[in-house]
Amino acid sequence: MSTTAASHLSPAFPLRAPWGTADALRAWQQEAVDAYLARDGAAARDFLAVATPGAGKTTFALRVASALLERQVVDAVTVVAPTEHLKHQWADAASRVGISLDPRFSNAQGAVGGDYTGVAVTYAQVAAHPLLHRRRTEVRRTLVILDEVHHGGDALSWGDAVREAFDPATRRLALTGTPFRSDTSAIPFVSYAVGPDGVRRSAADYSYGYGRALADGVVRPVIFLSYSGQMRWRTRAGHEVSAALGEPLTKDLTAAAWRTALDAQGNWIPQVLAAADHRLTEVRRGVPDAAGLVIATDQASARAYAAQLRRITGRTPVVVLSDEPGSSARIAEFSAGKDRWMVAVRMVSEGVDVPRLSVGVYATSAATPLYFAQAVGRFVRARRRGETASVFLPSVPVLLQHAAEMEVERDHALDRSPGEDDGIFAPEDALLAAANRVQDGPAGDELEFEALEAEATFDRVLFDGGEFGTQAAVGSDEEADYLGLPGLLEPDQVATLLQARQSAHRETRSRKSAATAASAAAHRAVPALRKELNGLVAAWHHRTGIPHGAVHTELRQACGGPLAAQATAEQLQARIDLIRAWALRRR
């Protein structure tokens, strides 16, 4: 491409238009639309657009849909989204650009009402009745927009259904911010190319990564604040285990320490939530409506974290427990309002558009790069230049690695072992299902584990691939310096401030270390000096017959200072020098 997006920022920048409705396209969106419309024939049937979360994939897709409808290439539009909430979000956005989608279409309904150009459905809906959706697609020339298409890679359910239902489509536009999965199931209607290493990877028709979007000012820079700490838990055998989160541990110990940290009954969660609320207060000085989101592992944890936030802030946060009736309305109300905090389980992390989210707490055990990228994507949507995002997370090696690689663009690789991400690093769909499962009591393995103690320690700040700060106590001045970073900063200003604060902290620690060393040296020197002085006083007594006490008194009067038992090293040295001078003069 001959020009960069930065030189063609749309009139909508720096202010952000409603989700999916910008009148003027950003430069990358226009480039992607041009790339799409330049295709014809068989090459135009499938198109994969990969754009970092928050960049505006919906606006791009709706512009393509409008063009195809206007040119009479298609007569209908079907949007397939991961969740019920996103169905309505898509329908609302489409209505603003003149495309009427029915988000309440059900499989039982069968046919689409005459007032609608198409429908918005979920992958689960398609999986439940793929032949119904195939018939709809065959009846009218249809553009199918597959939102977050990586969800179609589950070969056991959604993947096969998506292929069956939309194989007859006239056009298919696949969208994703993260075209990779933790398993090796092929994503429907996505092309794979063999790389130099022999591995087949997904091939995007247009890509717009986080690094480029950050340089263009389309997304916010993300500051990661990681917290470690001492954890203690009891195993199924009744043994108590203690370990420091963030230190090199085995996979099992890391999982247990991580799980202990996330336990709402320990101190780690309330300490980190309090730090995050402190950060949100600072951000609100420059961005008055800024909000925070806590992403929890499950419904029970979400409720417990909400109770902690209520104790910390004195206000009840908005809680979205699952993809249930009313959740979309609560999210929309929160997005338009000024409440400080929302707490949700994993399902809220993907695609949900709340542009004022600026501070996040990653309080979940999900660890796949796909899920992490989608979760962080909730905080990067820029509304005006200078906004920053802050994400608090446990000091777990895999999460720190994901944070350090924010700008790495990954493709979905097919030729890998499907068991690579077992255990706590399990594939996304299973994690999502577990997060939204309602349980009457703890699962079997939960009965065999008991978190006993969790204390947080401020670990470090990660930004733009660099690390800043060193371990410090929660509530320390060093932690406060990082929590107090201004909420409105350009990326280069963030890096400059972090470097300056790290240098200042290193200098302070160096001075304290030198003072401590000097104090320790004095502590060791004073007894030796006192012993030397007493020996010289005794020798002077034997030489002159003057009592010991009288000699000490005369030395004190001449040199100043308290009794020898309370004298400093400098005062003792002065008396030693004086009595030696007496001896040389023979007084």
Instruction: Centre a 10 Å sphere on the Cβ of residue 415 and count the other Cβ atoms it contains.
Output: 13
Q: For residues 480 and 468, give the distance between their C-alpha atoms in angstroms, rounded to a whole number.
A: 14
Please say whether the beta carbons of 65 and 145 come within 8 A. Answer: yes
Please say whether the beta carbons of 56 and 126 come within 8 A. Answer: no
Please say whether the beta carbons of 60 and 32 come within 8 A. Answer: yes
Residue 214: per-residue pLDDT? 82
142-146 and 240-245 as β-strands: parallel, antiparallel, unpaired? unpaired
Residue 53: per-residue pLDDT? 81
**pLDDT < 50 stretches in the chain:** 1-22, 155, 182, 410-447
Residue 35: per-residue pLDDT? 95
Which residues of the chain are in CATH 3.40.50.300 domains?
5-214, 220-236+269-410+417-440+458-489
Residue 172 class from Cβ within 10 Å (0-12 exposed, 13-18 middle, 19+ buried)? buried
Residue 347: per-residue pLDDT? 52
Structure tokens at 152: 């179609």
Structure tokens at 397: 């090696």
Residue 147: per-residue pLDDT? 92
Residue 22: per-residue pLDDT? 46
Sign of the Cα pseudo-torsion (31, 33, 39, 44, in order): positive
| Unique residue bearing structure tokens 């495309």 | 99
Q: For residues 52 and 56, give the distance between their C-alpha atoms in angstroms, rounded to a whole number.
A: 8
With CA atoms as reference, report the closest residue to 477 among 509, 453, 513, 448: 509
Could you say which of 3.30.160.100, 3.30.950.10, 3.30.470.20, 3.40.50.300 is the CATH number of the domain covering 220-236+269-410+417-440+458-489? 3.40.50.300
Residue 134: per-residue pLDDT? 95
Please say whether the beta carbons of 326 and 417 come within 8 A. Answer: no
Residue 348: per-residue pLDDT? 52
CATH superfamily of 5-214: P-loop containing nucleotide triphosphate hydrolases (3.40.50.300)
∠ Cα 37 43 44 (to 5°) = 35
Q: What is the widest separation between alpha-carbon atoms in the chain?
A: 123
∠ Cα 323 327 333 (to 5°) = 150
Q: For residues 364 and 384, give the distance between their C-alpha atoms in angstroms, rounded to a whole number.
A: 29
| Unique residue bearing structure tokens 């024939």 | 41
| Residues belonging to the chain | 587
Distances (CA, A) of 121 to 88, 162, 432: 9, 12, 18
Tell me 23's DSSP state.
S
28: left (phi over 0), alpha (psi -120 to 50) or beta: alpha
Q: For residues 304 and 425, give the distance between their C-alpha atoms in angstroms, rounded to a whole number.
A: 24
Please say whether the beta carbons of 182 and 426 come within 8 A. Answer: yes
Residue 343: per-residue pLDDT? 94
b/e burial code for range 93-124 (CB count within 10 A of at least 16 → b): bbeeeebebbbebeeeeeebeeebbbbbbbbb
Sign of the Cα pseudo-torsion (220, 62, 332, 319, in order): negative
Instruction: Centre a 10 Å sphere on the Cβ of residue 536 and count the other Cβ atoms it contains.
Output: 19
Q: For residues 171 and 77, give the distance between their C-alpha atoms in angstroms, rounded to a whole number.
A: 10
